[in-house]
Amino acid sequence: MQNTCGHCCTRIENLSVRFGNNSVLENIHLHLNCREILAVIGPNGAGKSSLLRAIIGEIPSTGKITYTVKGRPGEKPRIGYVPQKINFASDSPVSVLDLLAAALACGPVCMGVGKHTRETAMEALAKVDSQKLIDKRIGELSGGELQRVMLALAMTPVPDLLLLDEPLSAADINATTNFYEIVNNLKKQYDISIIIVTHNLQGILPYADRMILLNRAIIAEGSPQEVLADKKMLEVFQISL
């Protein structure tokens, strides 16, 4: 049984998403505890990104999503979200500090970044062990470095639910391991619930507490070992033995 704080959870009941006559998600039922990483896997077009977008209300859906938030009864949860595609021009003069300051400060960044804002940005980067990146230009960052910066943004303020959509598509093996170690530590330190959409089965395996195989509906659910051993995996991904 997953060790949780016992005071926060996310319940998704009968969630469905349609675009016109096209059914994207059908009757999704999930219960996600705090201090838990749920990995979502499935083929292209399975509705994985749509699941996250429905949770944050970016696309319309039917069904019910309810939250129990530790110490804040009746309040909506804080949700951090890192989308799948993040594009910055390689020659952009925008620095990591500029990006964080734009999200953290009340005034325009073009007027300068004050000491307090820089300290707050440094604190955000410290959560993901990336303080050294603060003055680097966004266009100079590696794929793994950029994802840690976006993770720092998603963690400020600290969310109750963290959603990561294919966060490591542009990262190498070392960056992947480092990223998942950081995410796992955030889960433990802040008691947050985390949903990670991923194609990187080998990378997520040591860190996921639970996994679902999604193909418009939930096809299999359980521990990563149980889901990966399920014969439905072979059917969904059309693998022949």
The single residue listed with the structure tokens 């266009």 is: 139
pLDDT of residue 96: 94
Contacts of 158 (CB under 8 A, 6+ apart): 78, 190, 192
CA distances from 8 to 4, 44, 149 (A): 8, 31, 26
As to burial, measured by CB atoms within 10 angstroms (0-12 exposed, 13-18 middle, 19+ buried), residue 75 is exposed
The single residue listed with the structure tokens 């976006």 is: 150
pLDDT of residue 109: 53
pLDDT of residue 241: 40
CATH number of 1-78+159-241: 3.40.50.300
Q: What is the pTM of this model?
A: 0.89
- For residues 23 and 111, which has the higher predicted lDDT (pLDDT)? 23
Domain segments of the chain: what residues?
1-78+159-241, 88-157
82-134 pLDDT per residue, tens: 998 777 777 888 899 999 988 876 555 555 677 888 999 999 999 999 999 99
pLDDT at 3 over 80: no
Confidence class of residue 239 from pLDDT cuts 50, 70 and 90? low
Query: What mean pLDDT value characterizes the chain?
Result: 88
Closest Cα partner for 64 from 123, 102, 16, 125? 16
